[in-house]
Structure 1
Amino acid sequence: MNIAVVLSYDGTAYNGWQVQKNGPSIQESMETAIQRLLGQKTHVSGVGRTDSGVHARRYVASFKADCTIPMDRLPYALNSFLPPDIAVSGAVQVPDAFDARFDCTKKEYAYYIFPSTLRNPFHARYAYRYNYPLDIARMQEGAQRFVGRQDFAAVRSQGTPVKSTVRTIFWCEVEPVDDLIRIRVCGDGFLYNMVRAIAGTLTYVGGGKLTPDDVSAILRAGDREQAGPTLPACGLFMNRLWYEHTPELARFRLDT
């Protein structure tokens, strides 16, 4: 059977989702847990390749295996074999053709910035500390320049070659959340380090190094050097997911 699981994880100790030769990964932990539980080797496919140190509030993965454990009990069984920084919260049988990555219609990432000259140990693993004041209104104005279908070559790092750097961003919002600034970006797909580069560009806008109009010009130029820096992975979360054609996943409220 084809099984989809909903999970979340703290990515601090991992080299991202995908299995790596030089360190632990979320995918490897999941495959090991399934093998220990079911006695079967299986490939676990994930909704996206989160990078080293990136977290996920919501993440969907799928695998094919013979499983007699009821789906409502499978999360408890898997969690007993997973480390404490990875947790499965739901499981459901899906059609054989389901793929966690390709059946996802849109994704939202959230990036957290802690604007402070003093450290806060409770934000150290989950937000990027920025030493200078940031104008949230200016950042929000700049964020709107990322919305739409356009070429995002200016805000991506070199990685696996892609056929096109054109993507659709449905929304990009900057808002205060307690003592943090949260940047939420939702799109139909993302380039390597794209959200972290968007966040870095918006910190430059909020700090006065760039104007909102500069964002549009940078995107038109497609020049990575003109945009802001790629911010550290610690502040990035896969935040919400949409599976609009997979009713089996609807009850898990992945989009809230």
Structure 2
Amino acid sequence: MAGRIALGLEYDGRLFCGWQTQPGGCAVQDALEAALAEVHGAPVSTIVAGRTDAGVHALNQVVHFDAVNDRPESAWLRGTNALLPPGVAVVWAKQVSEEFNARYAALERAYRYVLLNHPVRPALLAGKVGWVHAPLDQANMVEAAAHLLGEHDFSAFRAAECQAKSPVRQLRELNVVRHGDFFVLEFRANAFLHHQVRNMVGALVWVGLGRRSPAWVKEVLESRDRSQAAATFAADGLYLSAVRYDPKWGLPATVDRSGWAFAGAAGIMPSF
């Protein structure tokens, strides 16, 4: 396949310094482009649906690149995976129209935050879940989350280094579900600002701990002042869980391969 190729990826964010290429070659993009270039026999430049930070994982990341040399789909899939380091894998590969753009054609993005609420820190799931040792009040977190739904100026939940032209985003879904000792927070929006999800998680945790009232979240949102909000929460439990596109592009359906770790705990996928 020559032309524009779309790929679905999953990766363990602990093993990389984020998505975006770095001089030291420590990013997911560096590893992927090096493997693709070897399969392709020429340099490859990828465009991604969502640039994740260091420590943030992906269940369904989407990228595209332009190939000038013909390769079968199996080469982009199995050939690339044979050359990738542990912790990142191509899940699917598909030739797409040259009009497709992994970033700009995305209609919605979804993130999942998995939080262990238990007195003892995680061991087997270290780096894969966030952790709060004191009990959380789910009802108060749900009430607080409702204030964030809709289209707002999310400046109070935006990192100082965020490069987005506008702080306005439309948060279409925010679920706070408890499964035993796990809280699973599902976020769905047209797009997200830098650190927006982690900053919202931090605020909801403060409410869950009783440090602030649910109404405080609305006050912070309306203040548009980052200094009024909670600290940015750990990246450990954050997953880019899905990216939605118009069916006309013919991309494979979103698949949750987190399996034993989170599929049973979360019980849901984004309602795309």
Matched residue SS, 1:234: coil
CA distance in 2, matches of 1:253, 1:131: 31
Q: Deviations over 1:50-77 (max 9, x none)?
A: 0011000110010001343322553111
Matched, 1:228 2:235: no
Which ranges of 4 or more aligned residues in structure 1 deviate by more than 6 Å? none
Q: What residue is the counterpart of 1:165 in the other structure? A: 167
CA distance in 2, matches of 1:200, 1:239: 19
Instruction: Give 1:117 deviation, angstroms.
Output: 2.0
User: How much identity, in percent, do the aligned residues show?
Assistant: 32
- The structure-2 alpha-carbon separation of the partners of 1:162 and 1:3, relative to structure 1 and needing over 3 Å to count, comes to same
Instruction: Give 1:245 deviation, angstroms.
Output: 4.8
Q: What residue is the counterpart of 1:199 in the other structure? A: 201
- The structure-2 alpha-carbon separation of the partners of 1:28 and 1:70, relative to structure 1 and needing over 3 Å to count, comes to same
Instruction: State the Cα RMSD in Å.
Output: 1.6
Q: What residue is the counterpart of 1:26 in the other structure? A: 28
Instruction: Give 1:246 deviation, angstroms.
Output: 3.9
1:14/1:23 contact within 8 Å kept: no
1:71 to 70, 73, 88: 73
Q: Give the structure-1-normalised TM-score.
A: 0.95
Query: Quick one: which amino acid aligns to residue 9 of structure 1?
Result: Y
Instruction: Give 1:34 deviation, angstroms.
Output: 0.7
Q: What residue is the counterpart of 2:111 in the other structure? A: 109
- The structure-2 alpha-carbon separation of the partners of 1:239 and 1:251, relative to structure 1 and needing over 3 Å to count, comes to closer
Instruction: Tell which deviates more after alignment, 239-248 or 220-229.
Output: 239-248
Q: What residue is the counterpart of 1:46 in the other structure? A: 48
Matched, 1:244 2:246: yes
Query: Quick one: which amino acid aligns to residue 37 of structure 1?
Result: V
- The structure-2 alpha-carbon separation of the partners of 1:187 and 1:152, relative to structure 1 and needing over 3 Å to count, comes to same
CA distance in 1, matches of 2:32, 2:248: 22
Q: Deviations over 1:116-143 (max 9, x none)?
A: 2212212211111112110111111111
Structure 1: unaligned runs, 5 residues or longer? none
Q: What residue is the counterpart of 1:6 in the other structure? A: 8
2:100/2:249 contact within 8 Å kept: no
CA distance in 1, matches of 2:254, 2:54: 26
Instruction: Tell which deviates more after alignment, 173-182 or 130-139.
Output: 173-182
CA distance in 2, matches of 1:56, 1:177: 21
CA distance in 2, matches of 1:181, 1:143: 13
CA distance in 2, matches of 1:175, 1:195: 16
1:139/1:174 contact within 8 Å kept: yes
Structure 2: unaligned runs, 5 residues or longer? 257-269
Instruction: Give 1:225 deviation, angstroms.
Output: 1.9
Query: Quick one: which amino acid aligns to residue 179 of structure 2?
Result: V
Matched residue SS, 2:73: coil
CA distance in 2, matches of 1:22, 1:132: 39
Instruction: Tell which deviates more after alignment, 191-200 or 207-216.
Output: 207-216
Query: Quick one: which amino acid aligns to residue 134 of structure 1?
Result: L
Report 1:145-164 matches (<5 A). 145-164=147-166
Matched, 1:85 2:74: no
Q: Deviations over 1:6-55 (max 9, x none)?
A: 11000101111100124500111110001111211010111111001100
1:144/1:171 contact within 8 Å kept: no
Instruction: Give 1:177 deviation, angstroms.
Output: 3.2
2:142/2:176 contact within 8 Å kept: yes
- The structure-2 alpha-carbon separation of the partners of 1:251 and 1:240, relative to structure 1 and needing over 3 Å to count, comes to closer
Query: How many positions carry a matched residue from both structures?
Result: 256
CA distance in 1, matches of 2:179, 2:93: 31
Q: What residue is the counterpart of 2:262 in the other structure? A: none
1:132/1:207 contact within 8 Å kept: yes
Query: Quick one: which amino acid aligns to residue 66 of structure 1?
Result: V
Instruction: Tell which deviates more after alignment, 83-92 or 223-232.
Output: 223-232
1:218 to 214, 217, 220: 220
